[in-house]
Chains A and B, each alone.
Chain A
């Protein structure tokens, strides 16, 4: 067996045998599912709360248009004086809608006031304005000589259809699903880099503090040790993800069955929008969606970008582990690594969602430090081949450079004990 595979084997076994690995592997999916249901439960609890809102409308303009809903109840306080209505509302109710008595009804468009100490909920406010708009529009139309029946007849509700230039029918919510899938994979890569990069770092520090490092590198090259560590740890991580996916699917299917296909709970779970579709039972539609989403290229890109990104960042983590004596010392060096990861996720959220092929999204999907995440978010929307190729070449080129750089730091760092190096010193090590 070659030296590298020996190291990989040892690192893999050491990780997999670790108690926290075993616990996380089997408890992780349960925790995630548990959290999902907890969130779903909490939001349903929130729904049950009914808010009461007073209405003071002496002229009876809108009072009958406010319809009680699941979470809002309207109480007509027009019989009271305005001051009384205000007092009782501020004591007992969430707020008060005040409709002043005016000469010209159109003035109400700007004079209607909602009085409350809490800022109103978004959907409540929208509803309130909609009620006022509709009513005033109707009144205006009446004034212009249209009768109620004509107005009702003239109403049109639109529903835009989706189609492609090729003539096929488009699918609704396809974009949302694509965003969901892209984000799930991008997020997965980020999580994996942070969790397993840290593991690589910890394992380097462990060898340093155990003082076994010098014995090992009298037998193998530091580069072999570093690569063995990175690969071994990533294999452990992949195993963990596989177990998660299998366990997660079993639990999800079980839970879906148990909840009687409770769509909402499943949709909010992190196992992507695909599962939401499954749960909604549009079995025939799944075929269509699968056809629309470039699953094969997503999976292939995931593997390619995942390996490139993980190795790139792990090399950084390994170099940091070699440079410091303990995990607490690693913070100052970790910041610059976490930053691009966070940036990638935020850029992904803010730009890819709006415009997957905009300049910012394209640039960030080419920069090697952010490309594994941003590119994966873009891929469901279809990325030109040249961009994909360029991004992969840049990523792997940088990866080779960073491994070379990290190996230099690593080689010197593992034999340095007892002092916390500065950035300047790290630079000096490169020249040794």
Chain B
């Protein structure tokens, strides 16, 4: 699979401050790519370079295999974190204007607008000014403006901030639908649960450096700790514990269960899961046996605090 976007060894400095230190990324075509990192890590600097708002000091950015050039703004839809619209301009005119700035012919833009306005059931808003709309309504317009010109690559910086849960869900479904139709999405956020839910790939940027990049499962696999959550119903707790502590490190844990069972977190260390299981079966009924998969949140916090 080819990459929609390749960032190669990008360096960006502001005065003495290095915002991006030799960062490289590969965003596969058709993926939803989570760009993670704490505040001030350099995400926005990178996104601005991809959008050609600023130029990198060195390094290369390729969009769909081509070196980034001014024509490419047509193929990128960008929703920045700091976003807004002209308050005194009418909704319809504003959407048309922004679409035309992206190089869309007026007639085509009108057609697309009609589609989106019908989809969101907001046909009546055409002649309203943004200042007459509620914040949530304005956010919908903001989203339409971002995707109107049918970009190949959608870059969303904190897309759900400012949306109420209903609208956030609506937008999430739209993003997934666009992705199914072939749009690649880069998605920068602090909301880890939406990353878990939506992203195929993630990259973690911290202190101007890229620390992690890859397929979500691969990243998780790399960060597995060989820890299993175990539930067992037994009447010889002491014997079991003696046996287990001999080989493994144990922790208290908690998970939902219908049984009155002993709940443990077991680090396998040098042993494998079957050895653990064979010990457990000697002592009673195993009710729960699951590898503990690190959440994106765990990986994030673990990596950043290292």
The digit string for A4-29, where 1 denotes a CB below 8 A from any CB of B, is: 00110010001000000000000000
Task: Flag if A211 contacts B83 (CB, 8 Å).
Answer: yes
Most buried by B among A7, A217, A428, A431: A217
Give chain A residues whose Cβ lies under 8 Å from the Cβ of B83.
211-212, 214-215
Give chain A residues whose Cβ lies under 8 Å from the Cβ of B98.
215-216, 219
Report the bound CA distance from A428 to B52 in whole Å. Answer: 21
Give chain B residues whose Cβ lies under 8 Å from the Cβ of A14.
86, 88-89
Say yes or no for A210: interface residue by CB 8 A criterion: yes
Give chain B residues whose Cβ lies under 8 Å from the Cβ of A221.
70
Report the bound CA distance from A211 to B87 in whole Å. Answer: 10
Most buried by B among A7, A214, A216, A428: A214
Say yes or no for A432: interface residue by CB 8 A criterion: yes
Say yes or no for B273: interface residue by CB 8 A criterion: no
Say yes or no for B160: interface residue by CB 8 A criterion: no
How many chain B residues touch the partner (CB < 8 A)?
Answer: 26
Contact residue among A3, A211, A220 (Cβ-Cβ distance under 8 Å from B84): A211
Say yes or no for B242: interface residue by CB 8 A criterion: no
Most buried by B among A10, A206, A219, A417: A219
Q: In the complex, what's the smallest C-beta–C-beta distance from B145 to chain A, in angstroms?
A: 7
Say yes or no for B275: interface residue by CB 8 A criterion: no
User: Who on chain A is nearest to B16 by CB?
Assistant: A428
If A210-B84, A211-B84, A432-B14 touch, whether A218 touches B100 (CB-CB below 8 Å) is no
User: Who on chain B is nearest to A210 by CB?
Assistant: B84
Task: Flag if B15 contacts A215 (CB, 8 Å).
Answer: no
Task: Flag if B101 contacts A3 (CB, 8 Å).
Answer: yes
Give chain A residues whose Cβ lies under 8 Å from the Cβ of B102.
219
Give chain B residues whose Cβ lies under 8 Å from the Cβ of A122.
none
Which residues 218-235 of A have a CB within 8 angstroms of B? 218-221
Say yes or no for A415: interface residue by CB 8 A criterion: yes
Task: Flag if B86 contacts A218 (CB, 8 Å).
Answer: no
The digit string for A95-139, where 1 denotes a CB below 8 A from any CB of B, is: 000000000000000000000000000000000000000000000
The digit string for B80-109, where 1 denotes a CB below 8 A from any CB of A, is: 101111111100000001101110000000
Report the bound CA distance from A7 to B97 in whole Å. Answer: 9
If A10-B97, A220-B101 touch, whether A215 touches B145 (CB-CB below 8 Å) is yes
Say yes or no for B53: interface residue by CB 8 A criterion: yes
Report the bound CA distance from A206 to B79 in whole Å. Answer: 19
Give chain A residues whose Cβ lies under 8 Å from the Cβ of B48.
415
Task: Flag if A215 contacts B80 (CB, 8 Å).
Answer: yes
Say yes or no for B219: interface residue by CB 8 A criterion: no
Say yes or no for B51: interface residue by CB 8 A criterion: yes
Say yes or no for B76: interface residue by CB 8 A criterion: yes
User: Who on chain A is nearest to B73 by CB?
Assistant: A219
The digit string for A76-100, where 1 denotes a CB below 8 A from any CB of B, is: 0000000000000000000000000
Task: Flag if B100 contacts A211 (CB, 8 Å).
Answer: no
Say yes or no for B78: interface residue by CB 8 A criterion: yes
Say yes or no for A156: interface residue by CB 8 A criterion: no
Q: In the complex, what's the smallest C-beta–C-beta distance from A229 to chain B, in angstroms?
A: 13
If A10-B97, A415-B53, A428-B15 touch, whether A211 touches B76 (CB-CB below 8 Å) is no
Q: In the complex, what's the smallest C-beta–C-beta distance from B113 to chain A, in angstroms?
A: 16
Give chain B residues whose Cβ lies under 8 Å from the Cβ of A216.
98, 101
Give chain B residues whose Cβ lies under 8 Å from the Cβ of A219.
73, 98, 101-102
Give chain B residues whose Cβ lies under 8 Å from the Cβ of A6.
97, 100-101
Q: In the complex, what's the smallest C-beta–C-beta distance from B52 to chain A, in angstroms?
A: 8
Task: Flag if A218 contacts B78 (CB, 8 Å).
Answer: yes
User: Who on chain A is nearest to B102 by CB?
Assistant: A219
Task: Flag if B73 contacts A417 (CB, 8 Å).
Answer: no
Give chain B residues whose Cβ lies under 8 Å from the Cβ of A206.
86
Give chain A residues whose Cβ lies under 8 Å from the Cβ of B52.
218
Report the bound CA distance from A279 to B76 in whole Å. Answer: 64
Q: Is the interface of A mostly helix, strand, loop or mixed?
A: helix
Give chain A residues whose Cβ lies under 8 Å from the Cβ of B85.
210, 212, 215
The digit string for A239-265, where 1 denotes a CB below 8 A from any CB of B, is: 000000000000000000000000000
Give chain B residues whose Cβ lies under 8 Å from the Cβ of A415.
48, 53
Number of A-B residue pairs with CB-CB distance less than 8 Å in the complex they form: 61
User: Who on chain A is nearest to B81 by CB?
Assistant: A214
Task: Flag if B100 contacts A1 (CB, 8 Å).
Answer: yes
Give chain B residues whose Cβ lies under 8 Å from the Cβ of A7.
101
Q: In the complex, what's the smallest C-beta–C-beta distance from B299 to chain A, in angstroms?
A: 29
Q: In the complex, what's the smallest C-beta–C-beta distance from A10 to chain B, in angstroms?
A: 6
Report the bound CA distance from A431 to B98 in whole Å. Answer: 30
Report the bound CA distance from A255 to B82 in whole Å. Answer: 54
Which residues 379-432 of A have a CB within 8 angstroms of B? 415, 417, 428, 431-432
Report the bound CA distance from A10 to B94 in whole Å. Answer: 9
Q: In the complex, what's the smallest C-beta–C-beta distance from A155 to chain B, in angstroms?
A: 73
Report the bound CA distance from A269 to B51 in whole Å. Answer: 54
Which residues 267-303 of B have a CB within 8 angstroms of A? none
Contact residue among B76, B79, B87 (Cβ-Cβ distance under 8 Å from A210): B87
Report the bound CA distance from A216 to B102 in whole Å. Answer: 9
Give chain B residues whose Cβ lies under 8 Å from the Cβ of A10.
97
Report the bound CA distance from A1 to B105 in whole Å. Answer: 9
User: Who on chain A is nearest to B15 by CB?
Assistant: A428
Report the bound CA distance from A217 to B87 in whole Å. Answer: 18
Give chain A residues whose Cβ lies under 8 Å from the Cβ of B51.
218
Contact residue among B14, B53, B84 (Cβ-Cβ distance under 8 Å from A218): B53
Give chain A residues whose Cβ lies under 8 Å from the Cβ of B14.
432
Report the bound CA distance from A304 to B57 in whole Å. Answer: 39
User: Who on chain A is nearest to B74 by CB?
Assistant: A219
Report the bound CA distance from A1 to B87 in whole Å. Answer: 24
User: Who on chain B is nearest to A3 by CB?
Assistant: B101
Q: In the complex, what's the smallest C-beta–C-beta distance from B237 to chain A, in angstroms?
A: 58
Q: In the complex, what's the smallest C-beta–C-beta distance from B129 to chain A, in angstroms?
A: 11
Task: Flag if A217 contacts B84 (CB, 8 Å).
Answer: no
Give chain A residues whose Cβ lies under 8 Å from the Cβ of B86.
14, 206-207, 210, 212
30 pairs of residues in contact across A and B, judged by CB atoms under 8 Å: A3-B101, A6-B97, A14-B89, A210-B85, A211-B82, A211-B83, A211-B84, A212-B83, A212-B84, A212-B85, A212-B86, A214-B78, A214-B83, A215-B79, A215-B83, A215-B85, A215-B98, A216-B101, A217-B53, A218-B51, A218-B53, A218-B76, A218-B78, A218-B80, A219-B73, A220-B73, A220-B101, A221-B70, A417-B82, A428-B15
What is B's interface to A at a CB cutoff of 8 Å?
14-15, 48, 51-53, 70, 73, 76, 78-80, 82-89, 97-98, 100-102, 145
Further contacts, 14 of them, CB under 8 A, given A210-B84, A214-B53:
A6-B97, A6-B101, A14-B88, A211-B82, A212-B85, A214-B78, A215-B80, A215-B145, A216-B98, A217-B53, A218-B52, A218-B76, A219-B102, A431-B15
Give 3 nearest A-B pairs by CB, closest first. A211-B84, A219-B101, A214-B80
